[in-house]
Structure 1
Amino acid sequence: MNKQMATYIQDNMTGIISKWQEQMKREQDDRSYQVISDEVMNQTSQEFAGLMLSSLLESHEAYEKRLQDFSEKVVRLGWSITYVTKAIDYFAEIVYEGMKLQGMITQENMDGFIHEFANWATPIRNSTLDIYSKTWERTVSLQKIALQELSASLIPVFDKVSVMPLVGTIDTERAKLIMENLLDGVVRHRAEVVLLDITGVPVVDTMVAHHIIQAADAVRLVGAKCMLVGIRPEIAQTIVTLGINLNDFTTTSTLQRGVEQALAWTNRKIVEVEEA
């Protein structure tokens, strides 16, 4: 029966892919067809159909390699696990219905084919989801590392004045990285004033505030002043509601005001120069 299934897919590949694409386009909750070009989607569809066929024809090692490559590709394209699962189910349904229309599946052999289709689709689904999950976890881990590296650097903007822009959620692991980079940067750049910019931090709760206060205390211990900038109105309201005490260091609503204050602390100011 596997041979009959493989022969049908090979002989009707174009029609199967066309029906499968139409079926997948009806999944309005997924944006896969909206965010990539038709050319890329057509190529991906061909690869997916080849993956489904290879599980019937190729050795286990060859199939696993193809499966790994495809899973990594759909993760990059942003396919959700739900979307991948539906893709497998729809492909199997289209092949089954097509074989029925051609008389290859009859009332007499239907039970056997149902069993074969289950044995075909279920392992593909399980293997795909397993590799997809591992690939996704690895991708997220790499993105997290990249985000940490990009969003926890102390940047000198003026002599003796440096800024650390914080982006994303601050957890205990990121707070440790922020503290290390902050102290290292203060010493390396000989900063006297450090501005912690939380404009890109979506939520400031008690834990986040605790990490920020610890960072400010550490900066003071190495002989520099710390200022918290980028406090949006909703963040200010949250800080007041939670009863978080930020009285020990200066706060401003914008980075621009923070820079002006930092320059004042270092006996400088920004002046406009009239054109001659």
Structure 2
Amino acid sequence: MDNSSYLTNNNSICKIKCLKRGTNEMLAQALDRNNNGIYMIDENYITVFVNRRCEEMLKMDRNEAIGVHIDVFLSRIPGYRRFLSLSMEKGEELSKDHIEYVWEGKRRVFNAQTKFLYEDGKRIGGLVEFMEVTNFVENEEKLEQIIDDLTANIIPVMDSVGVLPLHPASGKGNVSFNTDQTLGKSVELGLEHLIIDLSSIKAVNDMLVNELRHLISTLKLVGTNVYLSGINPKVSAQIVASGYELSVGNGNTYAHLRQILRQLSEKI
């Protein structure tokens, strides 16, 4: 996702007076080509320019906005919260991520940033630049849910024994999990033995090893015996190189899941 800002990154000085007179067509055309929405007001908070992208994002007729107070015009948006006019009142340029609205039954998420506009050193107005990030936010939330589902997916295999299979998330190489959720699920199932299976993991980084170390230590504090299975030589070397110690105890690491299950079935 491109987070670049045409106006704020390039420090453009926009001539509101020219836009109001309609004499700066080149500037208006340039702003219309911007992929982000731009809403511009004068010092009295009266709308002087709305670019085409903003018109599309807000599903409005920009011609109806010209000459109208920004808060009066945008109040038609359910849940509208003052941002640009508030920034002007405070005398402080503001930025805010993940501004959410539910509009026509659809959730919309925006990032927004304000910028003041000057002429001859005097502030003559301001603008807010909108970037819609709805798809990005929803995809991130789906990924988080996938991670939560995977990492708390403890499979009971016999009385008081469960297996936690770890997998790379969404086909990517990175692996993460929620320690609190995993611990809660283990306690809920009444597990005395939890096997963390790493058969699907082809590589680890220091962050993952540290997360594993924390999970193992936490499980042991509540009396759960922890075992590791399926660690390949490459992963084993990376764990050693990380400097973290996975204190599962002597004899609690196995090449194959079935070895642990066979041993535990004889004990239980």
TM-score by length of structure 2 reads 0.46
Higher relative contact order (CA 8 A, sep 6+): 1
More helix by share: 1
Name the one with the larger strand percent: 2
What TM-score do you get using the length of structure 1 for normalisation? 0.45
